[in-house]
Chain A
Amino acid sequence: QVQLQESGPGLVKPSQTLSLTCTVSGGSISSGYYSSWIRQHPGKGLEWIGYIYYTGSTYYNPSLKSRVTISVDTSNNQFSLKLRSVTAADTAVYYCATSAGSVAPFDYWGQGTLVTVSS
């Protein structure tokens, strides 16, 4: 059974960079997963941030594209999110998730990690 676990700081200062890592166990990213980041603002709905294929190709939500970088580390079976120049509006629960294709559904999810942007 594939399991995902997010890790990273729970508090980030405004204007700094939010950095999170998702560790995948029970399966190999290199087997062809599309690895995504998704967030949920407090009391709001889900928002897709972007995905990376194990080869390194990426696709980002157009609304966040200028501030987002997703990278993959196949040797450690991890993928990471960097969100630059954060503001309070980036406070959210961040989830990592995987899918079998670029248009496939998210079949495995992490439990989510709350990141608060505050000074």
Chain B
Amino acid sequence: QSALTQPASVSGSPGQSITISCTGTSTDVGGYNYVSWYQHHPGKAPKLIIYEVDTRPSGISFRFSGSKYGHTASLTISGLQAEDEADYYCTSYSRSSPCVFGTGTKVTVL
């Protein structure tokens, strides 16, 4: 099972919006609405920020939103803040495994 493809890095200035893509295939992202996104600050536990493509857990800022089109899921961070600087990972259920992670994206706030 290959990892889902994410851009290695995305950057933006405070207040801007950025979008991180997560590309898979018809047997994972494209076939199921079980895409989640995690924020990971190095040295800390990853934090769930989106699940089932576009649902925010309680307590997660509305600045985080998710979507999916075809085989690609996306995470958008609006009103970028310094605290958003972290690594972001998508996951998806797949036909061959309950969980496959994306390659990870480092978000830099300029």
Q: How many residues of A contact B (CB 8 A)?
A: 24
Main secondary structure of the interface of B (DSSP, over half): strand
Give chain B residues whose Cβ lies under 8 Å from the Cβ of A36: 99
The answer to whether B51 touches A45, judged by C-beta atoms less than 8 angstroms apart, is: no
Q: How far is the CA of A118 from the CA of B1 in the complex (A)?
A: 28
Q: How far is the CA of A17 from the CA of B93 in the complex (A)?
A: 29
Which of the four size classes fits the interface of chain B?
A: 20 to 34
Q: How far is the CA of A62 from the CA of B32 in the complex (A)?
A: 20
Instruction: Quote the shortest CB–CB distance from A102 to chain B (angstroms).
Output: 6
Instruction: Quote the shortest CB–CB distance from B13 to chain A (angstroms).
Output: 26
Q: Known contacts A45-B3, A103-B34, A105-B51; is A111 also within 8 Å of B45 by CB? A: yes
For A62, give its contact among B1, B44, B52 (CB under 8 Å). Answer: B1
Give chain A residues whose Cβ lies under 8 Å from the Cβ of B48: 105-107
The answer to whether A112 touches B45, judged by C-beta atoms less than 8 angstroms apart, is: yes
The answer to whether B104 touches A45, judged by C-beta atoms less than 8 angstroms apart, is: yes
Q: How far is the CA of A13 from the CA of B3 in the complex (A)?
A: 28
The answer to whether B104 touches A46, judged by C-beta atoms less than 8 angstroms apart, is: yes
- A/B interface sample: 15 pairs, CB < 8 A: A36-B99, A45-B3, A45-B102, A45-B103, A46-B40, A46-B89, A59-B97, A61-B1, A62-B1, A95-B45, A97-B46, A105-B48, A105-B52, A106-B36, A110-B45
A interface, CB within 8 angstroms of B: 36, 38, 44-48, 51, 59, 61-63, 95, 97, 102-107, 109-112
